[in-house]
Amino acid sequence: MMLASFGAATLASYLVVSGILLVIGVVGFLVRRNLIVMFLCTELMFQGAAIAFVAAGRYYLDYSGQVMVIFILTVAAAEAALALALVVFMHRQRDTLDPDAYGELAE
């Protein structure tokens, strides 16, 4: 199957979209106080990264970009599993999802 032409300007548009997604994810991560939503924001950043990967791979006609997204999915899944387990665990102890409540974990 021959692919349609995909130029540098197209790539740039996709990259900007992915960049905006990443930034929104970062902002979200910074402003939210809910642990679970913070994790969701990281997932949002993952989304941005995934789009950038696929777009770049598409530009170079290389499938490694998509393979990377598979790994991102893997990591996201693993993170979701572990992090959510932790959240459940912590929530059981403190009955809150505010990360500030767990300050002493840092010490």
- Within 16-45, the residues that bind another protein by CB under 8 A are 16-17, 19-34, 36-41, 43-44
Give Cα 48 distance to the centre of its chain.
7
Give, as ranges, the residues between 88 and 107 that touch another protein (CB under 8 A). 88-89, 91-101, 103, 105-107
In contact, 58 and 13? CB cutoff 8 Å: no
76 contacts 46 by C-beta, under 8 angstroms? yes
Q: Is 49 in the site for another protein (CB under 8 A)?
A: no
Q: Give me the least distance between CB of 25 and another protein, in Å please.
A: 7
The nearest distance, CB 60 to another protein, in angstroms, is: 6
Instruction: Quote the least distance from Cβ 64 to another protein, whole Å.
Output: 6
> Minimum CB separation from another protein for residue 45, in Å?
10
Give the residue from 89, 83, 92 showing the smallest Cα distance to 35: 83
Number of shown-chain residues binding another protein (CB under 8 A): 89
- Look-up: residue for tokens 């021959």? 2
Instruction: Find out whether 79 and 38 touch, Cβ atoms under 8 Å.
Output: no
